[in-house]
Structure 1
Amino acid sequence: MKTQKTILSLALIAGLSFSLIACGEKKQEDHTMGSEDHNAMSESMDNMDKGMDMSGPATKTDLIDEYLEIKTALGNNSKEEAAKAATKLAEYAKTISFDQLTDEKKSEVSSILEVIQEHSEHIAKSEMDHQIEHFEAMGKDFTDLLAIVGSDRKLYQQQCPMYNKNEGGIWLSDSEEIKNPLFAGKMKTCGAVKQVIEIG
């Protein structure tokens, strides 16, 4: 009888030990998987940060690129893409410098860039109709800016006479083809080229 109890006790101890070992291995496995998932997530976040890296001095190419991105986004009725480009444009307008200009021109450019930054910040956080209002107003400021600092590409100032209850509205494009951004994807061909901005 005592022998049977001893055997039974040993069997219980062995079974319990096996369960604890298996549980420990499972916990270790779970922890390892969690660590791998965490590493993968960290790597993904790092890649996202690299993709949005805006370090280094901004250039007028950066300004024009993001302006045109906003134009395209509004023409495609994409509030989100317009906001994304406007966020970048606001940052570029804040950090760019034109050291080669005279003090008088620097002051003038600085004032224009402040207005462009303000328009961009509104576009970044507004609904589509308000985005379009600020984009149209910013077209005039961009034209004034490029008249001073020059453009890195040929641009076309285009105008739609029907915008804002027939008061008209302007925008800049890198294509002579009319793709009107002022009606959120509608009336895309309404407009005409009013001015050509040459490289300079």
Structure 2
Amino acid sequence: MKKVKLVTTIMVMAFISLTTMSCKDAKKEHNNDEGHNTEMNHDNSDGHHDGKKKKMAMNGDTNSQTILNDYFNLKDALVVDDNAKAKELGATLATSLGKLDISKFTDAQQSELKDIIEDATEHAEHISESPIAHQREHFKVLSKDITDMVAITGTQVKLYEQFCPMYDGGSAWLSMSKDIKNPYYGSKMLNCGKVQKEIN
């Protein structure tokens, strides 16, 4: 029995070491290979172009896009470790979720959306009243809910599903930019993660 525990412990330690190294390598690679590109991406993704994207998201299909914008603002607050801002934006997102008009969807989709929205609202409300470590725990489930919502409602802009192998056994989130800005670790491991899927 002791041998089994010892082997398990060694395997867990090895896994943690490997994932840590892979994140560190990815970070180095990101900084070295893409130094110049990152600057270009910054101009294209975060400047006027991003503003246009956000405007596009606000026009047209209404509430699901509003929810996405509120979600991205919340993600950005977690990226910069801003607990107070994340609380405020969690409350904003909870309100937007409550206003989603699902009447144009099929009965089956409406039923699924109701469940998704109910769960997402609960997590957004928890974020609005929690310390940052708990906000991040709730953000993980919230991100899955928002991804499930987008699978039904669609999106007017390209989204990137990004993945951090380190946080809580592996955690995903959505972004409007390819650049990795990790909401689960913020400044501790800002660039830890990878794009695992593009959603159009």
Match of residue 142, structure 2, among 135, 138, 144: 138
Work out whether residues 75 and 183 of structure 1, in 8 Å CA contact, stay in contact via their aligned partners in 2: yes
- Superposition pairs of residues 87-98 of structure 1, within 5 angstroms: 87-98=91-102
Who is 1:191 aligned against?
A: 193
Superposition TM-score, scaled by structure 2 size:
0.68
Superposition TM-score, scaled by structure 1 size:
0.68
CA displacement, residues 82-119 of structure 1 (integer Å, 9 cap, x when unaligned):
11111111011112112210111111101100011000
- Superposition pairs of residues 91-130 of structure 1, within 5 angstroms: 91-130=95-134
Question: Across the two proteins, how many residue pairs are aligned to each other?
Answer: 140
- List, as ranges, runs of 4+ consecutive aligned residues in structure 1 with deviation greater than 4 Å: none
CA distance in 1, matches of 2:120, 2:181: 22
CA distance in 1, matches of 2:159, 2:188: 22
Unmatched runs of 5 consecutive residues or more in structure 1: 1-57
- Superposition pairs of residues 81-92 of structure 1, within 5 angstroms: 81-92=85-96
Match of residue 65, structure 1, among 62, 65, 69: 69
What is the CA-CA distance between 1:152 and the residue it aligns to?
Answer: 2.4
Amino acid at match of 1:184: G
Match of residue 84, structure 2, among 80, 85, 90: 80
SS state of the match for residue 156, structure 1?
strand
Who is 1:161 aligned against?
A: 165
- Paired-residue identity, %: 39
RMSD of aligned alpha carbons: 1.4
SS state of the match for residue 195, structure 1?
strand
Q: Greater relative contact order (Cα 8 A, min sep 6): structure 1 or 2?
A: 2
Work out whether residues 63 and 99 of structure 2, in 8 Å CA contact, stay in contact via their aligned partners in 1: no
CA distance in 2, matches of 1:170, 1:188: 14
Unmatched runs of 5 consecutive residues or more in structure 2: 1-61
Larger radius of gyration: 1
CA displacement, residues 132-189 of structure 1 (integer Å, 9 cap, x when unaligned):
000011111111110011012111110010112xx11111101000000101322010
CA distance in 1, matches of 2:127, 2:103: 28
Q: Which moved more, 1:82-91 or 1:118-127?
A: 82-91
